[in-house]
């Protein structure tokens, strides 16, 4: 049996990892397809990753406080403030870690290889996270893993399309000048 303490901490890990991977993968794929510039991808990825980590942790904390208040009203189990702070910190740390995993290939590889490598890393991590969530919820790890991968693919595909469209518009604007 999995302890409530482990699940409480895992909520922050899952939230930070899932959101960090999908958001930053979307940012770097979109920027890469729009600009074809690895330096801009790295800068944008790190800035977006840091902003995302702060947003994740602040949003997660506010959500946990609201859930705590609801549980108090309904006389249900209430997480301690220490658990809430720990989960919030874990959401922040895992958002940052996700950023590093996604952006690192753009520091060491060419643009196309970096895009492919970041996508593969994100999908592997999303599958592992989904499988773990499935296991914790006594559901199919495979189903959850595939669901998380599909969400990551959807985010990357949409971001690539937006980036390509913006890149085309920017190129057309430069040609007119």
Q: Mapping DSSP to helix (H, G, I), strand (E, B) and coil, where does residue 46 land?
A: helix
Number of domains in the chain: 1
* Tokens matching residue 165: 């469209």
Q: Which domain holds residue 79?
A: 4-176
* Distance, CA of 24 to CA of 46 (rounded, Å): 9
* Tokens matching residue 8: 């409480």
Query: Residue 33: is its pLDDT beyond 90?
Result: no
Tens digit of each residue's pLDDT (9 = 90 or more) over 142-166: 999 999 999 888 887 887 787 778 7
Predicted local distance difference test score (pLDDT) of residue 1:
46
The count of other CB atoms within 10 Å of the CB of residue 130 is 25
Tens digit of each residue's pLDDT (9 = 90 or more) over 89-107: 888 888 999 999 999 999 9
Which carries the bigger pLDDT value, residue 170 or residue 94?
94
């Amino acid at each position: 049996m999995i302890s409530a303490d482990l699940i409480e901490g895992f909520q922050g890990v899952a939230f930070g990892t899932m959101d960090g991977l999908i958001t930053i993968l979307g940012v770097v794929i979109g920027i890469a397809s729009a600009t074809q510039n690895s330096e801009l991808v790295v800068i944008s990825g790190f800035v977006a990753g840091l902003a995302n980590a702060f947003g994740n942790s602040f949003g997660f904390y506010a959500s946990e406080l609201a859930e705590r208040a609801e549980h108090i009203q309904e006389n249900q189990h209430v997480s301690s403030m220490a658990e809430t702070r720990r989960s919030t910190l874990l959401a922040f740390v895992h958002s940052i870690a996700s950023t590093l995993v996604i952006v690192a290939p753009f520091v060491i590889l060419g643009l196309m290889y970096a895009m492919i490598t970041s996508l593969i890393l994100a999908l592997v991590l999303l599958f592992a996270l989904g499988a773990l969530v499935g296991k914790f919820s006594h559901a199919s790890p495979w189903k959850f893993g595939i669901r998380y991968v599909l969400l990551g693919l959807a985010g990357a595909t949409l971001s690539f399309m937006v980036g390509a469209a913006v890149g085309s518009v920017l190129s057309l604007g430069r040609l007119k000048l």
